Amino acid sequence: MEITKESGEGTSLPAEWSSVSEPARAAWLFSKELLQRNRHLKSLYLNVDVRKERQQQDNALITFYKRPCIQWASPFICELKGDCVTGPSVCRHLFSTAIFKLRSGLHFNLEDAVLTKVFEGESDHLVPSTSEALVSSEAFTVAGRMVGHSFLHGGPSLPGISPAVLHVLFGGSPESAPVTLEDCPDMDIRDSITLVLGRTMAQISCFRRGLEETGVWPLLTQRPDVVPLLFPRESEAQITSHMLLDHIVWPSAITVIYENYMELKDDEDEEEDKGDICRISGYLRMFIENASSAERKSLLKFWTGWEMPAEKMKVEILNAALPSSIACFEKLRLPRHYVKFNTFRDELQACLSTVHSSFEFS
């Protein structure tokens, strides 16, 4: 059903998102309109205790998205128990975590598996797991809700899904799906590749239902050009160095931050400060230019709370032991003591390696 809005004369007019040319703007307008229409509903509240084991944290996510009869376009509030971080960055972190878990695996505690993958296979050819236990546990409905809910709030998309799965997801028949050899995750049964979609019809149906429940289905069916934004190819989801560098606000202050106050420095110290700022800024630029896309995504999540560049990503050079961030303000805080790039790189990478399991900032 096409969403319409009332004109001043009481007649229904097509919503603006249905006619704008840019898919990204159509998606933004649709989400804004849907969220605005539901702003008076009771807020959805999600809290995750970061002090608990990963399995318990995953269970909190799963339990939240398993709830039936929920208006997912309602106002959304997030809390990380055991962490002092508040504000929009918490929601960014949880959406980013949810999408990451869909790709890497969830602690479902299912069939004695430590980690359960909802989607399996090669990059850009991910297909739903054929596990019947995942279907009966509503894992694919949960996945659909996670993806649609993240999309509504401008969060990360789910890259790498097989074009054949998307073909069936949006109403195409399995027989006409653009199946390729890479769509079969099991090397031993690739001769039977035509059976793959038939074995995952229930999973795709549940995934579609989860998406529909979030309210994004009218947009996706009426604007097929928006679908690649929600399910981009892995290569299209890559983060380039320019995507980061174009959004960075580099430091230029002539002050050094001490614990809880700012102290003006004399001319000699100002020159030293400028030298530190130039050196560390240069190290960060070098790191970004030479990092892999996965490392840049981890840097973004560490910096802003998710793998999407903010409009203004601030850098601060200060006296500190290790790199840290204040994701609420999209601020990366880098120690000034580094005099070798390799040391800077190694310690920054060590901090980034914990980004999907921790959300604590100094």
Q: Is residue 358 part of a domain?
A: no
Q: What is the pLDDT of residue 328?
A: 77
Are the CB atoms for 103 and 356 separated by under 8 Å? Answer: no
Q: What is the CATH number of the domain that holds 262?
A: 3.30.2410.10
* Of the residues 206, 230, 254, the one at which a domain ends: 230
Residue in this structure with the two tokens 């560490």, named with its chain if needed: 302
Does residue 163 belong to any structural domain of this protein?
yes
Same domain, 247 and 225: no
Q: Which pTM was predicted?
A: 0.73
Chain centre distance of CA 250: 25
In a domain, 45, yes or no: yes
Please identify, among 207, 230, 253, the residue that sits at the C-terminal boundary of a domain. Answer: 230
Above 70 in pLDDT, residue 71? Answer: yes
Give the total number of structural domains in the chain.
2
Establish if 359 belongs to a structural domain: no
**pLDDT in the model for residue 260:** 36
Binning pLDDT at 50, 70 and 90, where does residue 109 land? low
The pLDDT of 190-219, averaged and rounded, is 83
**Is 90 exceeded by the pLDDT of residue 25?**
yes
Nearest to 214 by CA among 296, 274, 136, 143: 143
Q: What percent of the chain has pLDDT over 70?
A: 80
- Is 70 found in the same domain as 113? yes
Please tell me the least confidently modeled range out of 58-72, 98-112, 126-140, 260-274.
260-274
Is residue 306 located within the same domain as residue 204? no
Mean pLDDT of 38-48: 94
> Looking at the domain assignment, is residue 236 inside a domain?
no
The number of residues making up the chain comes to 362
Residues 114 and 44 in one domain: yes
Predicted pLDDT at 271? 63
Asked whether residue 33 falls in the same domain as residue 139, the answer is yes
* Residue found by looking up tokens 């059976």 in the block: 195
* pLDDT average, residue stretch 106-130: 80
The predicted pLDDT at position 173 comes to 83
Q: Is the domain of 247 the same as that of 216?
A: no
Q: Answer yes or no: do 248 and 306 share one domain.
A: yes
Domain assignment of residue 361, yes or no = no
Residue 270 has pLDDT above 80, yes or no: no
pLDDT higher than 80, residue 361: no
The confidence band for 188, taking pLDDT boundaries of 50, 70 and 90, is low
Q: Which two tokens stand for residue 235?
A: 């290569």
Q: Please indicate, yes or no, whether residues 45 and 158 belong to a single structural domain of this protein.
A: yes
Same domain for 194 and 62, yes or no, is yes
Cβ 326 vs Cβ 93: under 8 Å = no
| Model confidence band, residue 257 (pLDDT cutoffs 50, 70, 90) | very low
Q: Which of 233-247, 253-267, 320-334 has the highest mean pLDDT?
A: 320-334
Among 179, 200, 230, the domain-final residue is: 230
- On whether residue 145 sits in a domain, the answer given is yes
- Find the mean pLDDT for residues 218-230: 94
- The domain in which residue 283 lies consists of 241-352
- Say yes or no to pLDDT of 259 above 60: no
Q: Is 235 inside a domain boundary?
A: no
**CATH number of the domain where residue 209 is located:** 3.90.1750.10
Q: Mean pLDDT, the chain, as a whole number?
A: 82
Q: Is the pLDDT of residue 256 over 50?
A: no
Same domain for 175 and 262, yes or no, is no
Tell me: do 206 and 95 sit in the same domain: yes
Query: Which pLDDT value is given to residue 112?
Result: 61
> Is the confidence at residue 349, as pLDDT, over 50?
yes
Q: Taking 90 as the threshold, does the pLDDT of residue 179 lie above it?
A: no
Query: Which pLDDT score, from 0 to 100, does residue 274 have?
Result: 79
What pLDDT is attached to residue 182? 67
- Contacting residues for 357 by C-beta, under 8 A, at least 6 apart: 54
pLDDT: which is higher, 353 or 85? 353
Residues 222 and 247 in one domain: no
